[in-house]
Structure 1
Amino acid sequence: MARSRNMMISATFLAMLALSAALVAGFFGTLHPAFDSFAHFRVHLAVLMALCALPLLATSFRLQAATALVFAVAAYATTSFPLPRLWPVQAAYEAKPSDQAVYPGDQAVYRLLQMNLRFDNPTPKKVLSLIGRTNPDVITLEEVSEMWTTELGYITSAYPYRILCPYPNGVFGVALLSRRPFAAGTKPFCERRGAMAIATVDFGGIGFDVAAIHLSWPWPREQPWQIGELAEPLASLGETAIMAGDCNAAPWSAAVR
């Protein structure tokens, strides 16, 4: 009985060590994309490590368990810092029909709707209905397949300013649609493999760069290579640029930061 208990404790301790190693690796994503792949699972790893550490507090490994528990809590806390910056994305779903809102100073407020369409979405009309209800000024879209190219054609009159960038496989393209005209003297731009669309949109006489981006899955897939390919067009964006899309990465990962 004692031997079985000791084996269980040892196995739990080894599992805690393995989870801590993976958790630590995720903080070194800038050194190699393989480490960054662990960062995407930081929440999962932190929770699992804490669950392993708790029962070990009643064993001879209590010091190591306490240290692991503190580290798990600290690691989990780092994932909450980027989240407030993501909340405004929901504004497009809560918007009122008017295309302007009045705030102190009577400043016009423009809205952007960001969506991953799902290339084989069985209910495209629901998406078009959402666009009609929220009436955003600019829309950034991912997984724009051939089917979606047809569907988006139905709202050309509402969003005449647009750029659609097909992906080589015909499935994971991006698109940028706007009710506001593109700035005079500028041309919308497609990254050569269709992973990003850039346009300078005229908002009341002021041009702002807007980018729609769709990254592939993390290492060992092609995301690190893709980020390298996008470095130059990303660097060309103005200081007031707005980038929206699906990065297939956690907001605290090196890929996003």
Structure 2
Amino acid sequence: MRFLTKNGIVRNLSIGCASMLMGLVVIGFTGPFIAAGDSFALFRPLAGVLLIPCAVVLLCLRARYFALSSTAVAIIAIGSIATSYAAPSEDCKGTCLTLYQKNLMSKAWPRYSLADDILESNAQIVTLQEVSSHNRQYMGNMFEHYPAKTICEFRPEQNVAILTTLPIVENSEFCLKGYGLVGVQVKAPGGGPIWVVSVHLNWPFPYKQSKQSQVIADRIKKLEGPVLIAGDFNMVPWGESVQRIAAAADNQSFGTILNTHNRGSWQVPLPIDNLLFPKGTTGTVELRPFMGSDHLGKLARIRIE
């Protein structure tokens, strides 16, 4: 009788744990309808992985219905993450385009090593967030190196920018002041014109990321031709805000899902610095060190098919 009582307690605890994890996954899918849903999407991979041992325990305890439900939700959770991005397929061959993405952190120090790293990468396009008078002063050699600069006001001392060595299509620059969006059309080497967009989203609910991402998506929908989107999204690639912006350009997240923020960890990674490139893009992406910022950089060498 004592064994049965203990067994029943373990069974109930396992069912409760599995139900909580399944609820967390389900709420994380409500982002398209409820802004708060995107805040829970962050925990989707952790909840999906934890549901697997829960399902094994429940099966051993003969709670077959909950074991099956846990397995199904785990597959959906992990599967949705796997299909939300395109892993780099091969080294860039032929005429390649190099893009360096970085949130500078407006008051970070030191600045010199980061400026040198961007210059040494030979990036033809640099997308930046949190551009301030501080880092413009201490990264002057980098800003002077790029002949074309498009900068747009976002928050005080946290502007978004695009630097490039490529020719700019005349009168193509645009800026959504206060919305963290700047864009310009450039002439790609060996190809036609392409749009480049730098994005900086606010934090998700209770902040206004959902509304901001919709305004940005509406603007991107108006662009004709291929679009390269890069930035600090403050949201994981499978979150609705990122997916909404990617869909506006018919793009897909590019690069492996790795933590890019210093507050993330292997248990709860924060892959919030994202590259959204046209489907079929090939090439590679490497993470660059923090170098004074709280965000890692991303260096992409790509070929747009």
Which TM-score band applies after superposition, normalised by the shorter structure?
Answer: 0.7 to 0.9
Q: Which has the larger radius of gyration?
A: 1
Structure 2: runs of 5+ lacking an equivalent: 244-305
Matched-pair identity in %: 26
Distance in 1, matches of 2:218 and 2:49, equals 38
Q: Identify the residue that residue 176 of structure 1 maps to in structure 2.
A: 162
Residues 7-66 of structure 1, C-alpha deviation per residue, up to 9 Å, x if partnerless? 232122112112112212323322222223322321011122223332222213133113
2:214 maps to which of 220, 225, 228: 228
Residues 55-112 of structure 1, C-alpha deviation per residue, up to 9 Å, x if partnerless? 2222131331133123213321221123325x48x98xxxxxxxxx872xxxx32211
SS in 2 for 1:249: coil
Distance in 2, matches of 1:194 and 1:243, equals 15
Matched, 1:31 2:33: yes
C-alpha contact (below 8 Å) 1:210/1:241 kept by paired residues:
yes
Matched, 1:249 2:235: yes
Q: How do 1:140-159 and structure 2 match up within 5 A?
A: 140-159=127-146
Distance in 2, matches of 1:75 and 1:145, equals 39
C-alpha contact (below 8 Å) 1:115/1:245 kept by paired residues:
yes
Distance in 1, matches of 2:64 and 2:132, equals 54
Which is richer in strand? 2
Distance in 2, matches of 1:119 and 1:149, equals 9
Distance in 1, matches of 2:129 and 2:7, equals 52
Residues 210-246 of structure 1, C-alpha deviation per residue, up to 9 Å, x if partnerless? 1100111122221012113324322222231211112
1:4 is displaced (CA, Å) by: 4.3
C-alpha contact (below 8 Å) 1:183/1:201 kept by paired residues:
yes
2:66 maps to which of 40, 64, 67: 64
Equivalent residue pairs, number = 240
Q: Let me know the Cα RMSD of the aligned residues.
A: 2.5
Distance in 1, matches of 2:140 and 2:167, equals 17
Structure 1: runs of 5+ lacking an equivalent: 92-100
Distance in 1, matches of 2:102 and 2:143, equals 18
Matched, 1:190 2:192: no
TM-score of the aligned structures, taking structure 2 as reference length: 0.70
Which amino acid is the alignment partner of residue 6 of structure 1?
Answer: G
Distance in 2, matches of 1:122 and 1:51, equals 44
C-alpha contact (below 8 Å) 2:193/2:225 kept by paired residues:
no
Distance in 2, matches of 1:238 and 1:218, equals 29
Which is richer in helix? 1
Structure 1 stretches of at least 4 aligned residues deviating more than 4 Å after TM superposition: none
1:165 is displaced (CA, Å) by: 2.1
C-alpha contact (below 8 Å) 1:168/1:193 kept by paired residues:
yes
2:185 maps to which of 192, 197, 200: 200
Distance in 1, matches of 2:93 and 2:44, equals 41
Which amino acid is the alignment partner of residue 163 of structure 1?
Answer: T
Q: How do 1:69-84 and structure 2 match up within 5 A?
A: 69-84=71-86
Distance in 2, matches of 1:146 and 1:51, equals 51
Distance in 2, matches of 1:218 and 1:232, equals 18
Q: Identify the residue that residue 133 of structure 1 maps to in structure 2.
A: 120
Q: Identify the residue that residue 11 of structure 1 maps to in structure 2.
A: 13
Q: Identify the residue that residue 214 of structure 1 maps to in structure 2.
A: 200
Which amino acid is the alignment partner of residue 188 of structure 1?
Answer: E
RCO comparison, higher one (Cα < 8 Å, 6+): 2
Which amino acid is the alignment partner of residue 98 of structure 2?
Answer: R
Distance in 2, matches of 1:234 and 1:109, equals 24
